[in-house]
Structure 1
Amino acid sequence: MSYDGKIMRRASARFDADRRRREEAFRRRQEQVYARAPRLREIDAELTATMSRIIVSALRKGSDPRPAVAVLRDGNLSLQQERVQLLADLGFSPDYLEYKPACPLCGDAGTKGEAACVCMKRYYAEEQQAELSRTLDLAGQSFDTFSMDWYDQTPDPVYGISPRENMETVYEVCANYAHAFKKHGGNLLLYGKPGLGKTFLSAAIAGEVSAAGFSVVYDTASHVFSRLEDRKFGRDEGESLEEDVERIMRCDLLILDDLGTEMTTSFVQSALYEIVNTRLLERRSVILNTNLSPEELARRYGAQIGSRLEGEYQILPFFGRDIRRLKKERG
């Protein structure tokens, strides 16, 4: 799993802010209790000071502090009993003044060893979805809200099946792709005329995959090529450019929308080849959305691209009537 640096920084900042709020809330609660029973502050200070001295001494000697802490706990039994009684007199449980981290797995560190803890992954997934929601309607464009009612059941003379039958297959492939992304990944080519559901199903995949904690970049092909061109010709020396290119090339799933609507130049041809080939070699997934057929893509971007699309991508045709027009006609 690859993490988007920009998204992870946002997730970490929110994680840290939430932890600080919990800690501050605990300190306020602690002060309220101490105000009602000042003796509790004295007991806690004595226990903390003694424990700190023992731990520091043990570490200085290179020994395990845990046995010494256990001795301290037994030796201060009377203080602990007094503490429990004072809390009980106030109507509180024995552990009321013990800070409990929100995540027992990492103690609110956000990491376990060198890996992100599941609690941090949840924050990352939320920030990832927030990022995608800026350009996609993740709530409205999901597998649950997709409707087959817009697809005709009359067989198409070119494909030999109806748009409805075709879309049932396409839907199943896309849903399985999203649900099994962790195990399989892979690449999809969604092609057909505008208004047939390519962006809708791509958004549904993006929502599902990002919710599972994977890094997803959804962008138009023209904007991606523009950022790569800026890097090549040094038009933008800022960190944001390098970060954008890193996101494009290293995310777990890259979704390029509207491929073929940009001005096709030799640079665009080479940039698309770089994206497709590099991500194939590194086993990073790509979904391409285009109005062009595989044959038209090969003519526009070159035989090498055509060969890789044919050999490495699952090709899904979209055909039928423009759903946007149908919705407008039906009011």
Structure 2
Amino acid sequence: MGFNSKINQKADEILNNKRLEALHNQDRMRSIVYSQFPRLQEIEQQLIIIGSETAKAVLNGGSAVEMTKKLAKESLALQSEARDILVSHGYKEDTLEPHFSCTKCNDTGRYDDEKGRTVLCDCLKKIRIDVACDELNKSSPLELSSFDNFSLDYYDMDIQEDKQVSPYERMSKVLAYCKKYARTFSLDSPSIMMRGATGLGKTHLSLAIANEVIQNGFGVIYVSAPMLLSTLEKSHFKYDYDTEEETINSLVTCDLLIIDDLGTEFQSSYSTSTIYNIFNSRLLNRKPTIMNTNLTLKDLEKSYSPRFVSRVMGNCAKIDFLGRDIRRPRPRRQ
């Protein structure tokens, strides 16, 4: 997965806090129950002693077989007595045990599989996904968008003569394509260039794709071109090359990079070369990229270069958006 160290660290902290909470609750419950039934605490102490004696017996080898059997029998009898005390007074058998949110790894995030390998638990993977979603929410200009709240009602059904298709028909196909892209996303998925005027839903559908792709366990970075270049330029011109390199590395290696509002950033030789290098590096590493722009091909060539446009257009699926600005209030179609 393409999650960065910040997301992984935060996820580890969340799971560790769950484990600490479970252990704290266990200590609190033991204090309550032991104050009511001192015999239970005596049983726990006896079980600890038996455990220690059993370990010694095992180390002594075959001559201690009978001793280990005897100790095991005593241990089972004490455990049965403890359960009887708890159940007879309305408690559950496992009242004195810690109740972890994940019984597979006991909230450690890792467990040993059948082959004895230490593997990442699904619960930690899920937390990483949730953290990544939160990070995406923070950086997006909208609340996290979904396919469910993308409405086609705002697109006209009248056919545009120059396009020979209605905005409604075109956007129905665009929506279907984006849904399939998100549902079947893999590192072999194509890059996408979304083109169209302001307010036609490019950002919304990009974020909807990101949301579903993250839910499927992939690492996604969403950023607007102005924010991206502003961040990188600050590091570059302050000679903070380590931070610049780390940021670019994250952009190049994440599973899916989404660059919104391409062409609206401040144009400079640095911004032009940086955008090209990021896209080209991802292309060479077989990493999909989604880019959105309000610019025409001619405008893109003026802002960047024919070489950049050729590279992008030759390696991206093109999606053209049609319609009027859907953010402007208008009567909904009946």
| TM-score category, normalised to shorter length | 0.7 to 0.9
Match of residue 190 from structure 1: 194
| Residues 301, 54 of structure 1: alpha-carbon distance in 2 compared, 3 angstrom cutoff | farther
> Offset of 1:69 from its aligned partner?
7.8
Q: Distance in 2 between matches of 1:57 and 1:271?
A: 68
* Residues 158-180 of structure 1, C-alpha deviations (whole Å, 9 max, x = no match): 22211111101111111111111
1:19 alignment counterpart: 19
Aligned-pair distance for 1:223?
2.0
The 8 Å contact of residues 110 and 116 in structure 1, kept in 2 or not, is answered as yes
Q: CA deviation at 1:311?
A: 2.4
Q: Tell me the secondary structure at the aligned position of residue 323 of structure 1.
A: coil
Residue pair 1:26, 1:99 contacting (<8 A) in 2 also: yes
Cα distance in 2 for partners of 1:302, 1:246 equals 24
1:260 aligns with 2:263: yes
1:284 aligns with 287
* Percent identity (aligned): 36
Partner of 2:313: 310
279-288 vs 132-141, which deviates more?
132-141
- Decide whether the 8 Å contact of 1:227 with 1:245 is kept in 2: no
Q: Which amino acid aligns with 1:302?
A: S
CA distances 1:134-160 after superposition (whole Å, capped 9, x unpaired): 243776621011111111112222222
Is the contact between residue 216 and residue 253 of structure 1 (CA under 8 Å) also seen in structure 2? Answer: yes
- Within 1, Cα distance between the matches of 2:38 and 2:246? 53
Question: What count of residue pairs does the alignment treat as equivalent?
Answer: 324
Residues 137 and 203 of structure 1 are in contact (CA less than 8 Å); yes or no, is this contact kept in structure 2?
no
Query: Could you say if the C-alpha distance between residues 115 and 281 of structure 1 is closer, same or farther in structure 2, counting changes exceeding 3 Å?
Result: farther
Q: 1:170 aligns with which of 164, 168, 174?
A: 174
Cross-structure match for 2:50:
50
Please show how residues 263-274 of structure 1 align to structure 2 within 5 Å: 263-274=266-277
Which 10-residue stretch deviates more, 248-257 or 222-231?
A: 222-231
Give structure 2 stretches of 5+ with no counterpart: 62-66, 112-116
115 and 271 in structure 1: CA distance in 2 versus 1, 3 angstrom threshold: farther
Q: Which residue of 1 aligns with 2:5?
A: 5
1:21-75 residue CA offsets vs partner (Å, 9 max, x unmatched)? 12111211111111111111111122134325645886x899xxxxx98874334
For residues 74-223 of structure 1, the aligned pairs below 5 Å read 74-112=73-111, 113=117, 115-136=119-140, 141-182=145-186, 184-223=188-227
Give the Cα separation in 1 of the matches to 2:153 and 2:278.
36
Q: Write the deviation string for residues 197-225 of structure 1: whole angstroms up to 9, x where unpaired.
A: 11111111122122233222111112212
The alpha carbon displacement at 1:318 in A equals 1.0
- Decide whether the 8 Å contact of 1:34 with 1:40 is kept in 2: yes
The answer to whether the Cα contact below 8 Å between 2:2 and 2:254 also exists between their aligned partners in 1 is yes
Q: Out of 320, 325, 329, which is 1:322 matched to? A: 325
Cα root mean square deviation, aligned: 2.9
Q: Deviations over 1:175-204 (max 9, x none)?
A: 111111147433111111101111111111
